[in-house]
């Protein structure tokens, strides 16, 4: 049995091992494969960057735990950019399952890195049922929809919320979502109140959202883990999305290698078979 025949009969467990190494290694060491920035990601970053320092912004955690790999890195990168600019951040969610706790965990962790104080620099409103009524109601007065924050503290006792009454006091809304709630932020809040909206969504949602960017209803867009990795690059932060894209790229290269080797092996064995028949 020649080399190519041995290669074609290699134990598949070796292939699985190599794939496992390709996935694991970038999680331990950042490889920094090049990430091409999309115009939509650049527009979103520039829109936030152009806001005056200390602006009040909304950041929504409209995603379920099942999509954390794609969506949470977007939220973290956005928080880092906003806190760096000393923005005042109000978070909320339309997701009852995990949404409030995700917002609480992520926001407080990043806020601690920047020395931000709850109630003064950021507030988590939490969850309220009936998202259409919630989005419309906050146009009149946020306190009528959220009389208290996620921990039960009345809004009137929070210094940040004393200066924020409704959408007219919000400079920008950054929606991170894995569902159709983005449509309602656009059709209700942006269309009726004129507040600029940008979004980060899962990869399967992104194709639909590009039309909103073209129409100007979204100022920018992040799509899936690649979009999150692009934003991490813009914020100059190497997070889980960057590592995830490194792992994905490495596995793709490994698969291409296996396909090439398999085809070369097949052609070499077929050629040796013809020579043997001669």
**Total Cβ atoms within 10 A of residue 85:** 15
Residues 6 or more apart in contact with residue 98 via CB below 8 angstroms = 64, 65
Same domain, 185 and 273: no
3 state SS of 141: coil
Domain carrying residue 13: 3-29+246-277
More confident residue, 278 or 119: 119
Q: What is the Cα Rg of the chain in Å?
A: 24
Averaged pLDDT for residues 26-53: 87
Give the Cα-Cα-Cα angle 249, 254, 255 (nearest 5 degrees).
Answer: 100
Q: Is the pLDDT of residue 278 over 70?
A: no
More confident residue, 9 or 91: 91
3 state SS of 136: helix
Report the C-alpha dihedral over residues 81, 86, 92, 98, rounded to 10 degrees: 60
- Residue 112 belongs to a domain: yes
Q: Is the pLDDT of residue 97 over 90?
A: no
More confident residue, 18 or 186: 186
Same domain, 58 and 188: yes
Strands 221-223 and 197-201: parallel
- Residue 132 belongs to a domain: yes
pLDDT value, residue 145: 95
Same domain, 152 and 59: yes
Phi–psi pair at 89, nearest 5 degrees = -115, 130
pLDDT tens, residue by residue, 142-186 = 999 999 999 999 999 999 999 999 999 999 999 999 999 999 999
pLDDT value, residue 51: 96
Average pLDDT, the chain: 89
Task: Give the number of residues written for the chain.
Answer: 278
Joined tokens for residue 164: 């924020």
Q: Concatenated DSSP letters for 215-251?
A: HTSSS-EEEHHHHHHHHHHHHT---HHHHHHHHHHHH
Same domain, 63 and 195: yes
Global pTM exceeds 0.75: yes
Same domain, 140 and 207: yes
Q: How many domains does the chain have?
A: 2
């Amino acid at each position: 049995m020649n080399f190519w025949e041995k290669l074609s009969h290699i134990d598949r467990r070796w292939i699985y091992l190599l794939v496992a190494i390709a996935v694991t290694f970038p999680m331990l060491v950042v490889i920094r494969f090049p990430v091409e920035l999309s115009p939509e990601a650049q527009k979103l970053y520039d829109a936030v960057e152009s806001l005056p320092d200390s602006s009040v912004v909304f950041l929504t955690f409209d995603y379920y735990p099942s999509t954390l790999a794609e969506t949470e890195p977007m939220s973290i990168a956005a928080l880092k950019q906003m806190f760096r600019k000393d923005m005042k951040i109000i978070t909320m969610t339309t997701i009852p399952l995990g949404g409030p706790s995700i917002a609480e965990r992520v926001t407080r962790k990043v806020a601690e890195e920047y020395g931000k104080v709850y109630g003064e620099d950021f507030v988590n409103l939490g969850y309220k049922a009936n998202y259409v009524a919630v989005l419309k109601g906050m146009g009149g007065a946020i306190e009528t929809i959220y009389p208290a924050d996620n921990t039960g503290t009345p809004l009137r006792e929070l210094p940040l919320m004393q200066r924020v009454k409704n959408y007219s006091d919000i400079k920008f809304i950054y929606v991170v979502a894995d569902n159709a709630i983005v449509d309602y932020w656009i059709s209700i809040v942006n269309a009726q109140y004129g507040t600029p909206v940008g979004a980060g969504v899962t990869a399967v949602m992104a194709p639909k959202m590009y039309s909103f960017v073209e129409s100007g209803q979204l100022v920018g867009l992040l799509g899936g883990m690649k979009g999150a990795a692009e934003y991490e690059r813009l914020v100059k932060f190497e997070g889980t999305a960057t590592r995830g894209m490194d792992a994905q790229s490495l596995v793709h290269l490994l698969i291409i290698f296996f396909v090439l080797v398999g085809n070369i092996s097949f052609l070499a064995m077929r050629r040796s078979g013809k020579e043997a028949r001669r």
